[in-house]
């Protein structure tokens, strides 16, 4: 069974074809990073225009690479939430056209759940229930996932997401956009002394033990004040920014494990392309006897059509179909 996945929720235009929810036949992604770099963030109007310019070309490319035609497909899956409304509409209209012309069922996809479903393309398949750790430019969240289409938010950021914090810190330090790769590169150049003290305070130090939240605005402010006094300590700042940011993830993830008694963890989202974070999470899982899975291919951590097509397969089996009049939304609800 072949299905196509269309992703256009933010600043990546992507289409993929997946077989039986586990074999990737073709994946095409057009990244808009260069178009948004001068603004140090995504400009919605620019994003939607580029989606419109590139999406038909990407469709042609996935069909060419996979050696399939639209008649060979069983379903069309498309991200319809959450995301930028104008961007979502581009993918939605393509899905409607394909559905109408080729009489294919439409499966609307939650972008966040799709990130957690992309691991089904890997060799190791997750078992339900699991904790879904989502770390991206717009999300720092933990979900309790009971089944495909059934997940509950149990921890979320109260301000900045971790990916957003990376971008803002990189901007402060004069580093390239997006901030994740440039900050990690600088951090890897720094070696602290054995007696060195982290210049940044622990995040949410006084958070009650029963609560699970994330916050990165305070860390961002601490970086700003330290940088003003120490403008040449870029590598040190990047090192301790990451160390402090990751410590909060580990603290809240451990609370989620203790509260739910679930030790199956799926981690995904664009920030999982960070190798330092992967190493931290691997050590965390080993220390806490947890089963951790994340996409081995870093390209699958970013926004992509493969994750949409994969989740689409499992929702197709549940006959979770939408009509041509489905809505797009900036939120999950």
Positions of E strands within 122-216: 130-135, 140-147, 150-157, 213-214
Q: What is the mean pLDDT of residues 45-68?
A: 98
Q: Give the predicted TM-score (pTM) of the model.
A: 0.96
Give the residue carrying structure tokens 């996945």.
Answer: 5
CB atoms within 10 A of CB 153: 14
pLDDT in tens, 90-126: 999 999 999 999 999 999 999 999 999 999 999 888 9
pLDDT at 232: 97
Return phi, psi of residue 202, to 5°.
Answer: -60, 135
Starting from the edge strand earliest in sequence, which strands make up the sheet with 12-19, in order? Answer: 23-31, 12-19, 2-7, 73-81, 106-110
Q: Which residues pair with 90 in a beta bridge?
A: none
pLDDT in tens, 249-279: 999 999 999 999 999 999 999 999 999 999 9
How much is the mean pLDDT over the chain? 97
All structural domains of the chain: 2-118+300-317 (3.30.420.40), 128-294 (3.30.420.40)
pLDDT at 124: 86
């Amino acid at each position: 069974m072949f299905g196509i996945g269309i992703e256009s929720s933010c600043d990546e235009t992507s289409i993929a074809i997946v077989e039986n929810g586990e074999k990737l036949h073709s994946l095409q992604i057009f990244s808009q990073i260069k178009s948004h770099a001068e603004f140090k963030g995504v400009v919605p109007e620019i994003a939607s225009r580029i989606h419109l310019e590139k999406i038909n070309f990407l469709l042609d490319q996935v069909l060419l690479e996979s050696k399939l035609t639209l008649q060979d497909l069983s379903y069309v899956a498309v991200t319809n939430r959450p995301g930028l409304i104008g961007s979502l509409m581009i993918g939605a209209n393509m899905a409607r056209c394909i559905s109408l012309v080729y009489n294919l069922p439409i499966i609307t996809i939650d972008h966040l759940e799709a990130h957690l479903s992309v691991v089904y393309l890997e060799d190791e398949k997750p078992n339900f229930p699991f904790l879904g750790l989502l770390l991206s430019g717009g999300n720092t969240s933990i979900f309790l996932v009971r089944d495909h289409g059934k997940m509950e938010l149990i921890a979320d950021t109260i301000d900045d997401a971790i990916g957003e914090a990376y971008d803002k810190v990189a901007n402060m330090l004069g580093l390239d956009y997006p901030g994740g790769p440039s900050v990690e590169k600088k951090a890897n150049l720094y070696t602290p002394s054995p007696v060195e003290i982290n210049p940044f305070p622990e995040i949410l130090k006084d958070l009650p033990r029963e609560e699970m939240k994330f916050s990165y605005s305070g860390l961002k402010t601490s970086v700003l004040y330290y940088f003003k006094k120490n403008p040449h300590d870029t590598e040190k700042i990047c090192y301790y920014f990451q160390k402090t940011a990751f410590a909060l993830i580990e603290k809240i993830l451990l609370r989620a494990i203790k509260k739910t008694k679930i030790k199956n963890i799926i981690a995904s989202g664009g920030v999982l392309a960070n190798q330092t974070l992967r190493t931290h999470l691997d050590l965390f899982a080993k220390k806490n006897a947890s089963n951790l899975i994340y996409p081995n291919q870093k390209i699958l951590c970013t926004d992509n059509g493969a994750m949409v097509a994969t989740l689409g397969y499992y929702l197709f089996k549940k006959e979770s179909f939408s009509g041509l009049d489905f809505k797009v939304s900036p939120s999950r609800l």
